[in-house]
Amino acid sequence: MAYAADAQAKAPSNGTAKKGASAAAKAAKDNKKTAPPKSKPSSTDSKADTKSDSKAANGSKPPATPATQQLVNHDYTDYAIVGEDDLRLLDENSPLLPNPASEAEAAAREELRGMSCAYGPLKKKNAGGVLEPFPGKLSEVLERTDLDDIIDWMPHGRAFIVKKPELFTTNVLPRFFRQTKYRSFTRQLNLWGFKRITRGADGGAYYHQLFLRGRPYLAMRMRRQKIKGTGMKLTPNPDGEPNFYNDWPAMPPLSDRRVLPPLPPLFSEMLWMQNKGAATGKATDGMLEAPGTRSGRIGVQGGMNDQNGMGGMALDAVNMAAAGLGGKAAIDRVSENLLNALKYSVR
């Protein structure tokens, strides 16, 4: 009985127990309000963790450059080992083609056999829609000794450089390429597969393994590339650039005895010649068509014919330009060293 009484005395009453339970519930509720919310892992974090776990499991490393970039490939083959005459015989499958002198020449022949001419006398496709495409015009410019202070071959003849870009833009591009921006010229270089050397003695020069000094027939195998819209950006690769002074033989120099054709006229020069020709044509027409001047007409033409027959050609070109006939043909005829003969027609 005494033990039961002690236990009954120590046990709390029902009211006290209810008060303690309500106090505990209130404290728990307050703690829940003040506690910071638990953050849920985002989907990107979970994907990143999954990728990192998979890479760690496979032992692979992430790429050093983005997928949209690629290093410039400077692999170089010496196709000059096949002579120009042998190259023609190779295209014609001629039995007169001699045996290759080395294994390297045999390998180069096989590669060239698989390259069809993109322009020239054999084919005219893939040349950008023109009869004389960009490489042909560029070869013509580089063959001119009167422009070598503006653009010229490097000493080895396997690359060329524009020495004076500003003068090249104003005096050469409009004459040969019908362009007025240097950026358009470099874009054409990229489309035709030229590569730029960024350092060393050839820094700033452009080269192509099929574009060599004195080898125009070899350049006919160059092809115009389609790089627009590919999303591929080439990254310079100086360590892979060729050293043409040590690794490859130099190309023979061009002959200094070749006769240079006259420079094509600039657009401003064409307009001047057109206006000059029109005025001269009107003056000569008035003089030659006047009554009783038939003998004088013959005398003028006879005197001009004494100038190696060039005066008559100049007069014909002037009359064509004045009449609006012939267009570019008339201007070309005047521009080809006939300006001196043209002076005789207005005396």
Q: Give the dihedral of Cα atoms 82, 84, 89, 92; nearest 10 deg.
A: 110
- Strand segments, DSSP code E, in 35-177 are 69-71, 151-153, 159-162
Q: How many CB atoms lie within 10 A of CB 10?
A: 7
Strands 159-162 and 151-153: antiparallel
Tell me what pLDDT residue 301 has. 42
Instruction: Please write down the HEC assignment for all residues of 41-62.
Output: CCHHHHHHHHHHHHHHHHCCCC
The residue type at 343: K
The rounded average pLDDT for each run of 10 residues, N- to C-terminus, in the chain (347 residues) is 46 49 58 54 51 51 60 95 92 92 94 85 52 88 94 98 97 92 95 95 97 94 75 84 95 84 83 69 56 44 42 45 46 48 42
d(CA 243, CA 197): 10
Strands 206-207 and 159-162: antiparallel
Question: Is the full-model pTM beyond 0.85?
Answer: no
Question: Strand pairing partners for 71?
Answer: 235
pLDDT at res. 233: 75
